Structures are given as C-alpha cells and as structure tokens.
Amino acid sequence: WFVRLFLLLCCTKCSLSWVYERTRGQVWPLPRFISYQKTLNYISPVKFTFKVTNNTCPILDEAVKRYTDVIKKMLPRNHHQWQGCPDGASLQEVLVTLTEPCEDWPNLHMDEHYEVHVNRPDYDNLTIVSSSSVWGLLRGLESFSQLVTPATDAAGCLVLNSTDILDYPRFKHRGLLLDTSRHYLPVPVILNILAAMEMNKMNVFHWHIVDDESFPYQSITYPSLSDKGAYDSKHLIYTQDNVKNIIEYARLRGIRVIPEFDSPGHTRAWGGGANKLLTACFTNGSFNGEFGPVDPSRSQNFKFVRTLLEEVKSVFPDKYIHVGGDEVQFGFQCWMSNPTVTQFMKDNNITSPENLEGYYMN
C-alpha cells in the first residue's frame, strides 16, 4: 500500500505541475503595496554595487556584503562563456538609506517598515532601498534580491522591472519552532534554517532546545545535565560557542532567538544529571522505578531550576524565554502517588495537583 500511495502522489504531482509555474522576479511574502512597471533594468553583476548613503553599522555592512554576493551568484556557472551585458547596463548601483541609528538586537517591537524604488523618475531615476531601521533594511534588501533574475534576452546580464514597494509586516512575531531535543540537528543545518527564515522574512527562532528525550545544551553551571542527558555527550551537544554563533548568525539577519527550557514537566532527560530533581513515582506505596515532573516538595530543586534559568537568561539576550508549564497533567498521577509530595501539599494547604503546578510556576 505504501508503494501504491507513493506512486499516486508522484503521478498527482506530475499531472498538476503545470498549474503552478515557478515565479520570476516576484517578492515573497507579498508586500503590502507593490507596483511593477514594464521598464526593464539590466544589471551587470561584475559592476553592480550597493552604496550605503547615511547611517551604517556592522549589521548593515554584513547585509550589504551578503546581498552583493547573492546578486552576483545569480548568474549560471558557465557565465564566463556569455557575451555580457549591453554597454552601459541601466542599473549598476542601489542606494541603501538608513535614516536612524541602528539597534543592536532584534526585539518584539522592532520597526520593519521599508521602501524599495527601482528607477523611479521622481527619484532622479535612482534605485533606492530605504528604512528608518536596520531591520527594515534587511527586509528591503531581501525583497530587492527577489526582484532580480537572469535576463533571457541579454546573455551575462541580470534584469528586474522598475518597481515600487512599500511594505511592513502584519504580525510582529513571525516564528519557526525547532525541536532539537527529540531530533538533534547539527549547527550548520540550524544556520541554513536561519538563512531560509531570512528569505521568508521570519523574525523569531523559537529554539526548543531540551525536553524529555535529551538535554543537548551544555550548561556552564551544570555540565552534568548534557553529560548525562544528551544522546551523545561529546558529539550531539550545543556548546556555549555553538549557541553564541547561532545567536549572532540570527542577529545579523534580524531574527530573535527565544530558547525553551520546559519545567516542571518535559524534564526526564534532566534527571540523570541532577540528583533528586525529579519526582519518584509510586505504585501501591512502593517506588516503581519511574520518575515524573520536577519534585516541588524539595526547596533545593527551586534553587537548581532558578540558577539554570538565570544562566540561560545570561546566554540568550532576548527579553523572553519559554519556561514551559505545559502538559504537566500527565505527571499529576506521579505527584499524587508520592507520599512526600502529598504531605508537602497538606502542609502548605495545596488541595489539587493543578494548584501544586501553580505553586511551582509562581
């Protein structure tokens, strides 16, 4: 049946492939306002440059280098055999205008408005990418790069239509969640994902870095967590340098990194590296060999988790971290089976496991 289904999907894809043609020179996501003109502007990749005309900063400098490289790599590999652009290719310079100083870190309230004007008569036939923020310029440079395609009528050239774009996002938070606990991903793969997020103008990398299955984050304060909790404590971990490189790679692309360290549930992988952190589960009054959520009856556990989260906050610069609190109901039975936990509840007038969860989270 699997083979039949696979063949059916392949045939369906083949039969419908004509419906959706690959776009050329169109911007994604669709901007708030975009107007294409019929005028074609040819680019010689060898001579093409971006020129920063006002404020600049390392984020913008890196972006200009990156998008210059993107433009130049649009030519096929055999472009040296081509004839080249007509003399005096019509677009050789794009002005990049930042009207306000740069921010250092992307944030929830960052301004991502931008404008792109290609060969506008009322701009002295200049081509301009402009914004009041460096984050807006990143989005504008991406849109400009998507307008450019290899020319079909001038060998060795790139081409784009005269275009006007006014754009800003509908949603401040446009995120992608990646779970590296259940499925470890090497750092180069994560960087490629961040590059793809930039192409789609996404701005939040929600990094679900640890969970029940593994603890690949190499903690400064508690290295035993990854020593005992990672799939492989030598190879399948994220070192502090790995984390810093990922955060910096994201920052340069206007992407926030929000880490997720769930508790009191989703902490099974923590148990090997933290003695008595997890609740021992009982059956008929005897320990059954299993462990549940973080044991809230031990004050030392609050200190442990708080210290870990303080470290996480110092490593990840974003204002927010995700601390979980979800799906603890699956551990309620374990809590209620443990005599030490139930006695703690009585001593503190906690009448239900739901209230015990609230006590822990607060």
* Most distant CA pair in the chain, distance: 88
Residue-level pLDDT at 9? 52
Average pLDDT for the chain: 92
Residue-level pLDDT at 45? 85
Residue 214 has pLDDT above 70, yes or no: yes
CA distances 73 to 46, 69, 79, 153, Å, are 10, 6, 10, 19
3 state DSSP class of 217: strand
Residue-level pLDDT at 18? 53
Residue-level pLDDT at 238? 99
> Looking at 93, 248, 310, 327, which residue is catalytic?
327
Residue whose structure tokens are 């993107």: 70
Residue 266 has pLDDT above 80, yes or no: yes
The three-state DSSP-derived secondary structure of 93-136 is EEEEEECCCCCCCCCCCCCCCEEEEEEEHHHCCEEEEEECCHHH
Considering the chain, what percentage of its residues have pLDDT values greater than 70?
90
Domains 23-167 and 175-361 share a fold: no
CATH topology for 175-361 is TIM Barrel (3.20.20)
Taking residues 238-242, what's their average pLDDT? 99
Give first-to-last CA distance, the chain, whole Å.
51
Residue 290 has pLDDT above 80, yes or no: yes
Can you give the residue ranges of every domain in the chain? Answer: 23-167, 175-361
**Domain with residues 23-167, CATH architecture:** 2-Layer Sandwich (3.30)
Residue-level pLDDT at 20? 57
Q: What pLDDT, in 10s, does the model give residues 85-106?
A: 765 558 889 999 999 999 999 9
* Among 236, 223, 332, 318, CA closest to 273: 223
CA distances 12 to 4, 21, 23, 247, Å, are 12, 16, 21, 41
**Quick check: is 21 catalytic?**
no
Q: What pLDDT, in 10s, does the model give residues 13-60?
A: 555 555 556 678 999 999 999 999 988 999 988 889 999 999 999 999
